[in-house]
Structure 1
Amino acid sequence: MLRLMGLPSLTLNYCILCFLLVYAAASGVENENQKVVVCPFRSIYQFGASLHDTGNLIRVGAIGPTLPAARLPYGITFPGRPTGRWSDGLLIVDFIARAVGLPLLNPYLDKNASFTNGVNFAVTASTALDIGFLAQKGVVVPSITVPLSGQINWLKTYLSSSICAAPSDCKDRLKRSLFFVGEIGRNDITFALVQGRTIQEVAAFVPDITTSVINAVREVIQVGGRRIVVPGTFPLGCFPNLLSQFGTQDPKDYDELGCLRSINNLTIFRNNHLQQALGSLRKEFPDAVILYADYYAAFQSFLARAPLLGFHQNKLYMTCCGSGGGQYNYDRNKVCGSTGVISCPNPPQYIHWDGVHLTQKAHLAISQIVIPNILSRIQCF
């Protein structure tokens, strides 16, 4: 396993890139006629929610700096201080940036930051659907979040005020950029489930979630984006927050990995619906590269091999930073960052950081599956 701490950034970039190329060959991504080519990306633009937020939510109003991700133990593994990432360290988007030789993305709301190599627009707890739409479905969303449509508006403001001195400059920059739209839609589903909506009720507005994501991708293409990656949703039935709330005593309710079947089936339905819509969008924009990143399959693949990767066999579904003990060490009323809640001394042995988000080591394990697959399918312009 690649050691992250103590390596200079250039050495780390080189090591990750070499590892990814070797991994791609070993996993069947590369064959005699196909090699993984790392395109010369100029920038990365990220939309989404907490899985990719590098510090936006902690900068929202007066409440932001008081949120858990603004204080330790968040960031305890890397860089040793809180950054607004909802993890002990790096996220998937961080590993993506390093794999293509770019600096880590700064959050859009950090007005003192450099955005030369892209921007992170993702905001924790954000939804694919607008807050008003979800309210009509009886789902309450935190008012401080920024739905996907709002993040797209941020992109347009950024382009018009920051980097495009002339239309030709903007077109050239975006043509050589990589856009990630998501992973988003997870919160729409999770908020609804924990607030009492049935799986059938949630499934009924999955098409609306898909439409919102597709519309966002369409807008990205219309402003000049040409290489867009749209991740699917992780298997939500494998996460401690939902396992603790919806767990049963019936073994038939769980799959072979120990995850809740019904919630994972809902997630599969959501991902399949998204993939079908992306297929139609590719026909609408044949000159754009629109890729689906299968986070669901990547998570399951790594979960099945987790003990071999150094994760503790008996703690695959336990939170590192949590309270409540029991099977999952998760209590939604006393979460990581709350008074009296401490993190475990060995985060690299855990998949789950706080019951909703993953540890740095889990992000790395998933990245080792996802990134080579993305790079092997990206067309260089």
Structure 2
Amino acid sequence: MAKQLIIMLLPLLFLLFILSEVVEGTKKSYGVYDNSNSVKLFVFGDSYADTGNFVGSPSYKQPYGITFPGKPVGRFSDGRVLTDYIASFLKIETPAPYALRNSSTLQNGINFAFGGTGVFQTLKVKDGPNMTVQIDSLEKLIQKNVYTKQDLQSSVALVTAAGNDYEAFIVNNKSIIEIKSFTTTLINQLSINVQRIHNLGINKVAIALLEPLGCLPRINAVTFHLSCVDLLNLVSENHNKLLLQTVLQLNQQVGKPVYVTLDLYNAFLSIIKTLQKKRDENSTLMNPLKACCVGDGLKNNCGSVDDKGEKKYSVCEKPELSFFWDGVHPSQNGWQAVYTLLQSSLGQLNHG
């Protein structure tokens, strides 16, 4: 009987172990904290900001998290991601993932970002919460009085979404001919979403510009990682141009700088260019257009294993010198460099 009971309890014990590991990984962030700080951070978007919502994804498997916190806890990187650095700028600890809301403190805000999702529904996570659903979740918490009007007014929202939307569009249409009209549709919905966040009571909304899609290792593989793919970078440029125009109009409508843009596009390009120049001077340095973690299958998935559990990926010797961790996501080193370049824009998030 005792043996049967132990067997029955094993799955539950395993689940509790996983949750405790994940919660521990969300407690620790980066930087100096101010316990008296009333600012909260509410995060919406995709894997660039997700810190643990996509349970069961590669981000919960080795070798993700090897730099921070030393084990996989749901970040799509070897360590910290954009959310962690924005939280550190606000002098708060990284907000808990929404998936762990029942076992975490919510005093620093909450993270709704979910890897693979977008402004619309995407191919990667067909049932995953797109941005509209993520905002619905915040609205429900407000209705339950988890957060007060005062909490929201002194807080900041981070929005990073669209990359997965473009991938879904290209896969579905097998072409980028009609992508300009799709960009207009996408920005219109994104505009509706960020206005809705503001209307819920959040007075500072940071919106990430789209990264240079043509520089992602999964894309620039066609150039043998020698250069970015200009045609896809043009997609990012057009997206960002329209987004900047939209943000300007939205701020004019409300009469104050509620919406702030974070220029991931030029930050990525600037860092890649700098690292390429250093590599020209020292050929032993890592190519910034290459991923640190590379799978050996057709999908090139970092963290993939075979039927016997043997790993089908390799990790570069020094992740701390890489810019990209895998085929899409920056490494902790990459995000830290991006954060450094974004600090002048982040200053606009201070309430006043």
Settle same-fold status: TM greater than 0.5. yes
In 2, the alpha carbon distance for the partners of 1:221 and 1:43 equals 14
In structure 2, the partner of 1:73 is 63
In structure 1, the partner of 2:138 is 155
In 1, the alpha carbon distance for the partners of 2:250 and 2:129 equals 25
Asked whether 1:45 is paired with 2:23, we answer no
The alpha-carbon distance between structure 1 residues 141 and 344, as it changes in their structure 2 partners (threshold 3 A), is: closer
In 2, the alpha carbon distance for the partners of 1:84 and 1:231 equals 21
Deviations 1:161-184 (A, max 9, x none): 2424xxxxx221111101112x20
Asked if 2 retains the 8 angstrom alpha-carbon contact of 1:243 and 1:259, the reply is yes
Asked if 1 retains the 8 angstrom alpha-carbon contact of 2:117 and 2:128, the reply is yes
In 2, the alpha carbon distance for the partners of 1:189 and 1:88 equals 25
The alpha-carbon distance between structure 1 residues 357 and 149, as it changes in their structure 2 partners (threshold 3 A), is: same
Asked if 2 retains the 8 angstrom alpha-carbon contact of 1:230 and 1:292, the reply is yes
Instruction: Tell me the secondary structure at the aligned position of residue 238 of structure 2.
Output: helix
Asked whether 1:353 is paired with 2:325, we answer yes
Deviation at 1:379, TM superposition (A): 4.7
Instruction: Tell me the secondary structure at the aligned position of residue 293 of structure 2.
Output: coil
Deviations 1:304-354 (A, max 9, x none): 112578996452211111134xxxxxx552411101213223111211111
In 2, the alpha carbon distance for the partners of 1:124 and 1:112 equals 21
In structure 1, the partner of 2:53 is 56
In 2, the alpha carbon distance for the partners of 1:309 and 1:116 equals 42
Gapped runs of 5+ residues in structure 2?
A: 1-27, 306-311
The alpha-carbon distance between structure 1 residues 379 and 317, as it changes in their structure 2 partners (threshold 3 A), is: closer
Deviations 1:169-221 (A, max 9, x none): x221111101112x201111122234553122222211111011111111111
In 1, the alpha carbon distance for the partners of 2:263 and 2:118 equals 19
Asked if 2 retains the 8 angstrom alpha-carbon contact of 1:228 and 1:289, the reply is yes
In structure 1, the partner of 2:111 is 120
Equivalent position to 1:191, from 140, 145, 168: 168
Deviation at 1:270, TM superposition (A): 0.6
Equivalent position to 2:83, from 76, 80, 93: 93
Deviations 1:214-235 (A, max 9, x none): 1111111111111111110110
Asked if 1 retains the 8 angstrom alpha-carbon contact of 2:261 and 2:345, the reply is no
Q: How does 1:270-285 map to 2 (within 5 A)?
A: 270-285=239-254
Deviation at 1:40, TM superposition (A): 5.4
The alpha-carbon distance between structure 1 residues 302 and 41, as it changes in their structure 2 partners (threshold 3 A), is: farther
TM-score, length of structure 1 as denominator length: 0.76
Asked whether 1:226 is paired with 2:209, we answer no
In 1, the alpha carbon distance for the partners of 2:114 and 2:141 equals 16
The alpha-carbon distance between structure 1 residues 158 and 308, as it changes in their structure 2 partners (threshold 3 A), is: farther
Q: How does 1:1-381 map to 2 (within 5 A)?
A: 13-14=31-32, 42-58=39-55, 64=56, 67-110=57-100, 111-130=102-121, 140-164=123-147, 170-181=148-159, 183-195=160-172, 197-244=174-221, 247=222, 258-287=227-256, 289-306=258-275, 313-324=285-296, 332-339=298-305, 340-375=312-347, 377-381=348-352
Identity rate, percent: 26
Deviation at 1:288, TM superposition (A): 5.2
The alpha-carbon distance between structure 1 residues 172 and 288, as it changes in their structure 2 partners (threshold 3 A), is: farther
Deviation at 1:150, TM superposition (A): 0.5
Asked if 2 retains the 8 angstrom alpha-carbon contact of 1:69 and 1:86, the reply is yes
Asked if 1 retains the 8 angstrom alpha-carbon contact of 2:38 and 2:151, the reply is no
Deviation at 1:287, TM superposition (A): 4.1
Asked if 1 retains the 8 angstrom alpha-carbon contact of 2:286 and 2:321, the reply is no
TM-score, length of structure 2 as denominator length: 0.82
Gapped runs of 5+ residues in structure 1?
A: 1-8, 18-38, 59-63, 132-139, 165-169, 325-330
Instruction: Tell me the secondary structure at the aligned position of residue 163 of structure 1.
Output: coil
The root-mean-square deviation of aligned C-alpha atoms, in Å, is 2.6
Instruction: Tell me the secondary structure at the aligned position of residue 342 of structure 1.
Output: strand
Q: Which moved more, 1:196-205 or 1:120-129?
A: 196-205
